[in-house]
């Protein structure tokens, strides 16, 4: 046991002391939070940041005259200029596009001219604008009141409620969707990263012949187990630090947003006191959106979710790292690992691909339940299901099978590792690995 602890200590300290570990541990949460904040900002302010596009409109039909609506990024300028003349001069006149609507036009005859290829969003914006006007005109000709039709087509918004033993509560489906996908994605990526680290470490020690010296003092199983646990502890340390840093940054951000919300509330109260109804209509709504987001985050069972995440990451990593270690012991360089990598990683790739389209939309289906029980697929499948609510017996059974799968996989991998770590110059095959497994002590 002391020898295993020494190997764990060596593997752990040699990686934690690296500058790359410290830099990544600090930068990753900052970059992730900055990335999501940037995406959110661009989603809200995207139209304001986009370059303004001016479209010269030649409407020979008269149907759309004065009806095209300007947006933050698109401005329509009507012109009575001759089309043939405008087509050669619209760029020189400072327009980005020329929209030509011929007399008695059909949808297929309307043309949009530009010097460069127009973006898909610009084409869609113009098409939507024209379609709305044409639809309203057809309805009017048919004697249908468009205001009545618009009121009848008003979108229905529902509030999803979940009935629990404690009573009703908001379902927070989209929050569960985001947490499930993010958790599965982190496990998917990190199993590859840390598992590959174990494999590369084994290959390096084997190629440099250091392993021959180490094996003279410890058993191959002790070496493999120490290396797997040591690298796993590095991953856990990094995750825990990421969580602490992310919570700290989120707390600071939440405090700043709360202060902003309080300031906006004071402004609103002052406007009400002054009776300025016009200003009240112009009060921004992002604070309400941020308040909704914060309430969604607060509804998450943080301790439960993080505990499950750490468990599935740890034992998923231990299971796959044992296989990666066996592969590393069977080859002499990283190029030779390619023939073994696909069968090893296929369950992970398959489950992650399926998670995005099926599991996340059908978390309680039979296929989702089975995938969350199989040790090779459960780390991803179960983390997708957990935010939506998983029966206690299914979670317990999944965890038990994952631990059992780790024990069995480690036993199989250790039998291959003990032979392969001392094999040189011979390209391993699946048949050769089976022979190594059958060798007696």
Q: How confident is the model at residue 394 (pLDDT cuts 50, 70, 90)?
A: very high
Whether the pLDDT of residue 106 is over 50: the answer is yes
The mean pLDDT of 187-196, rounded to a whole number, is 85
SS3 57: strand
- 197-206: buried (b, 16+ CB within 10 Å) or exposed (e) per residue? bbbebbbebb
Whether the pLDDT of residue 258 is over 70: the answer is no
CA distances for 275 relative to 265, 270, 282, 284, angstroms: 15, 9, 14, 17
Output 258 or 182, whichever has higher pLDDT.
Answer: 182
Residue 396: predicted pLDDT: 94
Tokens of 146: 């468009």
Q: How far apart, in whole angstroms, are the C-alpha atoms of residue 175 and residue 295? A: 10
The mean pLDDT of 83-98, rounded to a whole number, is 85
Output 437 or 351, whichever has higher pLDDT.
Answer: 351
Rounded percentage of the chain residues whose pLDDT exceeds 90: 9
Q: Which domains does the chain have, with CATH numbers?
A: 51-145 (3.40.190.10), 174-251+302-438 (no CATH)
Whether the pLDDT of residue 168 is over 60: the answer is no
DSSP character string of 166-206: TEEEE--HHHHHHHHHHHHHHHHHHHHHHHHHHHHHHHHHH
How high does pLDDT run on average in the chain?
78
List all residues 6 or more positions away from 83 whose beta carbon is below 8 Å from its beta carbon.
58, 60, 100
Q: How far apart, in whole angstroms, are the C-alpha atoms of residue 116 and residue 56? A: 15
DSSP character string of 334-385: GGGGHHHHHHHHHHHHHHHHHIIIIITT-TTSHHHHHHTTSTTTHHHHHHHH
The mean pLDDT of 32-40, rounded to a whole number, is 76
Whether the pLDDT of residue 122 is over 80: the answer is yes
Q: How far apart, in whole angstroms, are the C-alpha atoms of residue 143 and residue 133? A: 15
The mean pLDDT of 210-222, rounded to a whole number, is 74
How close are the terminal C-alpha atoms of the chain, in Å? 20
The helix or strand, by DSSP H or E, that contains position 390, with its residue range, turns out to be none
Of these ranges, 46-50, 153-157, 329-333, 352-356, the one predicted with the greatest mean pLDDT is 352-356
The mean pLDDT of 64-73, rounded to a whole number, is 81
List all residues 6 or more positions away from 54 whose beta carbon is below 8 Å from its beta carbon.
75, 77, 94, 95, 96, 97
Q: What is the pLDDT of residues 419-430, one digit of tens each?
A: 777 777 667 777
Q: At what angle do helices 302-330 and 430-438 cross, to 10 degrees?
A: 100
The mean pLDDT of 139-167, rounded to a whole number, is 70
The mean pLDDT of 288-295, rounded to a whole number, is 52
Residue 382: predicted pLDDT: 92
* Under 8 Å between Cβ of 319 and 190: no
Nearest CA-CA partner of 219 in 208, 209, 230, 211: 211
The mean pLDDT of 55-63, rounded to a whole number, is 84
Residue 283: predicted pLDDT: 43
Residue 399: predicted pLDDT: 94
Residue 295: predicted pLDDT: 55
Q: How confident is the model at residue 327 (pLDDT cuts 50, 70, 90)?
A: confident
Whether the pLDDT of residue 373 is over 80: the answer is yes
Output 36 or 163, whichever has higher pLDDT.
Answer: 36
Q: How far apart, in whole angstroms, are the C-alpha atoms of residue 223 and residue 216? A: 11
List all residues 6 or more positions away from 401 whose beta carbon is below 8 Å from its beta carbon.
373, 374, 375, 378
Q: pTM for the whole thing?
A: 0.68
Whether the pLDDT of residue 34 is over 90: the answer is no
The mean pLDDT of 403-414, rounded to a whole number, is 88
Output 293 or 76, whichever has higher pLDDT.
Answer: 76
């Amino acid at each position: 046991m002391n020898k295993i602890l020494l190997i764990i200590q060596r593997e752990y300290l040699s990686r934690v002391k690296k500058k790359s570990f410290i830099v990544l541990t600090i930068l990753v949460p900052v970059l992730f939070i900055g990335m999501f904040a940037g995406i959110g900002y661009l989603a809200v302010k995207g139209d304001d940041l986009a370059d303004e596009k001016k479209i010269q409109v030649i409407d020979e039909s008269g149907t759309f005259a004065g009806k095209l609506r300007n947006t933050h990024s698109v401005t329509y300028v009507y012109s009575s200029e001759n089309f043939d003349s405008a087509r050669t001069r619209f760029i020189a006149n400072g327009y980005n596009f020329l929209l030509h609507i011929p007399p008695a036009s059909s949808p297929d005859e309307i043309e949009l001219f530009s010097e460069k290829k127009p973006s898909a969003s610009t084409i869609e914006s113009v098409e939507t604008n024209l379609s709305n006007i044409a639809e309203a005109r057809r309805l009017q000709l048919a004697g249908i009141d468009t205001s009545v039709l618009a009121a009848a087509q008003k979108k229905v918004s529902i509030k999803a409620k979940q009935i629990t033993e404690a009573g009703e509560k908001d379902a927070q489906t989209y929050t569960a969707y985001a947490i499930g996908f993010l958790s599965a994605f982190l496990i998917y990526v990190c199993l590859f990263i840390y598992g590959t680290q174990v494999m590369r470490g084994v290959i390096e020690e084997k190629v440099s012949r250091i392993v021959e010296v180490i094996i003279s003092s410890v058993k191959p199983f002790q070496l493999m187990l120490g290396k797997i646990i040591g690298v796993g502890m590095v991953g856990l340390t990094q995750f825990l630090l990421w969580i602490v840093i992310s919570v700290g940054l989120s707390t600071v951000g939440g405090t700043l947003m709360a202060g902003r919300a309080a300031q906006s509330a004071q402004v609103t109260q002052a406007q009400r006191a002054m009776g300025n109804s016009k200003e009240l209509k112009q009060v921004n709504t992002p604070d309400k959106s941020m308040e909704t987001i914060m309430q969604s985050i607060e509804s998450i069972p943080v301790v439960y979710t993080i505990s499950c995440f750490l468990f599935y990451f740890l034992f998923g990593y231990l299971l796959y790292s044992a296989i990666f270690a066996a592969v590393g012991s069977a080859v002499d360089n990283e190029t030779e690992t390619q023939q073994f990598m696909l069968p090893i990683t296929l369950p992970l790739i398959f489950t992650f691909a399926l998670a995005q389209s099926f599991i996340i939309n059908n978390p309680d289906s039979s296929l989702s339940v089975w995938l969350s029980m199989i040790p090779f697929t459960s780390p991803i499948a179960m983390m997708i299901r957990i935010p939506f609510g998983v029966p206690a017996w299914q979670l317990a059974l999944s965890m038990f099978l994952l631990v059992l799968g780790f024990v069995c996989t480690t036993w199989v991998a250790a039998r291959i590792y003990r032979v392969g770590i001392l094999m040189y110059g011979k390209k391993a095959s699946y048949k050769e690995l089976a022979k190594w497994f059958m060798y007696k002590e």
